[in-house]
């Protein structure tokens, strides 16, 4: 885990944003992905992210730069860089608000319908903003790091790394993991149909949606945490965002779809064909890292795999 001397951090930030009066930890530091702090500098407030995992800072910086001065509601970058050629950091303006997950239960259905409409609209603007000529990770200037020109190249390389990590420690149900791996690989032909590289948020959910209250009503204020954002298959994001929403709340799903289809289109039959494939991918990805960091999430990954494998077996 990162060990940060907060007084030393204040000194490093002084030429960037001035004297830092206070530093308040925010975010999920226990996940060991990054450290996030709220900074108070007189009347101004900022957020600094210090990145624990490599290949996250560059994605977030590139995405926030891409969407600056557009309709996409994202934080405004103040500055970014690498401290001592080691520690990647990003400072952006602090946005007053609450995570949608924190207030979801207390909001009226009409209020939620408006928020989900805007969520759909925002995601579609993200998807439509730019078409890329590569798949996979990008540097802080939005240029390809891996030079994958086909989606299959990118995905197979990704899965090889996930599986290497997955089998580097013991699992109680190794049989399930192997079955999920084999079934996923047997469906790789799905990848050959993907020709368009679309920038996806890759963690678009209420926990990354900031809302704020104005006159007793909440409005979408910002989308945060673009560290997973890369150009990939647009259907992967819609499988993970839209399909669970249909299962959990058809009313909100319909409002999300209406917002998304202001400009784009959701092809439900196409998503249904890819549902099991991407659920296997997601489950294996979760299990590859979560066991020692967040065991409950690891169990959720195993549950996704079990349910998906059982469904595929029933379809025989």
Supply the pLDDT for residue 70.
Answer: 97
* Backbone torsions φ then ψ of 141, nearest 5 degrees: -105, 10
Supply the pLDDT for residue 97.
Answer: 96
CATH architecture for residues 98-314: Alpha-Beta Complex (3.90)
Q: Can you identify the CATH homologous superfamily of domain 6-93?
A: Phosphorylase Kinase; domain 1 (3.30.200.20)
pLDDT in tens, the chain (316 residues): 567 899 999 999 999 999 999 999 997 766 667 899 999 999 999 999 999 889 999 999 999 999 999 999 999 999 999 999 899 999 999 999 999 999 999 999 999 999 999 999 999 999 999 999 999 999 999 999 999 999 999 999 999 999 999 999 999 999 999 999 999 999 999 999 999 999 999 999 999 999 999 999 999 999 999 999 999 999 999 999 999 999 999 999 999 999 999 999 999 999 999 999 999 999 999 999 999 989 999 999 999 999 999 999 987 6
For the chain, the maximum distance between any two Cα atoms, rounded to a whole number of angstroms, is 65
Domain ranges of the chain: 6-93, 98-314
Supply the pLDDT for residue 314.
Answer: 86
Helix (H) or strand (E) holding 24: strand 22-26
Supply the pLDDT for residue 216.
Answer: 94
User: Do 98-314 and 6-93 fall under one CATH topology?
Assistant: no
Residues whose CB is less than 8 angstroms from the CB of residue 224 and which lie 6 or more positions away in sequence, other chains included: 74, 75, 95, 208, 209, 210
Supply the pLDDT for residue 52.
Answer: 86
Residues whose CB is less than 8 angstroms from the CB of residue 15 and which lie 6 or more positions away in sequence, other chains included: none
Q: Reduce the DSSP state of residue 289 to 3 states and report it.
A: coil
């Amino acid at each position: 885990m990162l060990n940060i001397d907060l007084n030393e951090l204040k000194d490093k930030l002084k030429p960037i944003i001035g004297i830092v009066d206070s530093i308040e930890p925010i975010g999920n530091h226990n996940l060991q992905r990054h450290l996030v702090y709220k900074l108070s500098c007189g009347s101004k407030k900022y957020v600094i992210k210090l990145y624990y995992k490599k290949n996250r800072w560059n994605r977030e910086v590139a995405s926030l730069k891409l969407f600056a001065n557009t309709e996409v509601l994202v934080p405004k970058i103040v500055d970014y860089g690498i401290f001592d050629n080691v520690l990647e950091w990003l400072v952006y303006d602090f946005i007053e608000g609450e995570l949608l997950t924190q207030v979801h239960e207390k909001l009226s259905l009409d209020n939620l319908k408006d928020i989900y409409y805007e969520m759909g609209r925002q995601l579609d603007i993200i998807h439509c903003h730019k078409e890329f000529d590569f798949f996979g990770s990008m540097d802080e200037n939005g240029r390809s790091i891996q030079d994958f020109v086909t989606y299959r190249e990118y995905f197979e390389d990704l899965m090889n790394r996930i599986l290497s990590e997955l089998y580097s420690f013991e699992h109680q149900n190794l049989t399930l993991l192997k079955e999920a791996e084999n079934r996923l690989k047997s469906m790789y032909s799905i990848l050959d149909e993907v020709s368009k590289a679309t920038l996806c948020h890759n963690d678009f959910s209420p926990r990354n949606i900031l809302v704020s209250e104005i006159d007793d009503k909440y409005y979408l204020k910002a989308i945060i945490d673009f560290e997973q954002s890369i150009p990939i298959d647009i259907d992967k994001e819609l499988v993970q965002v839209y399909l669970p929403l249909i299962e959990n709340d058809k009313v909100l799903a319909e409002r999300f779809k209406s917002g998304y289809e202001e400009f784009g289109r959701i092809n439900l039959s196409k998503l249904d064909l890819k549902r099991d494939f991407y659920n296997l991918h997601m489950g294996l990805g979760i299990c590859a890292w979560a066991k020692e960091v967040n065991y409950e999430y690891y169990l959720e990954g195993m549950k996704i795999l079990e349910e998906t494998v059982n469904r595929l077996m029933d379809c025989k």
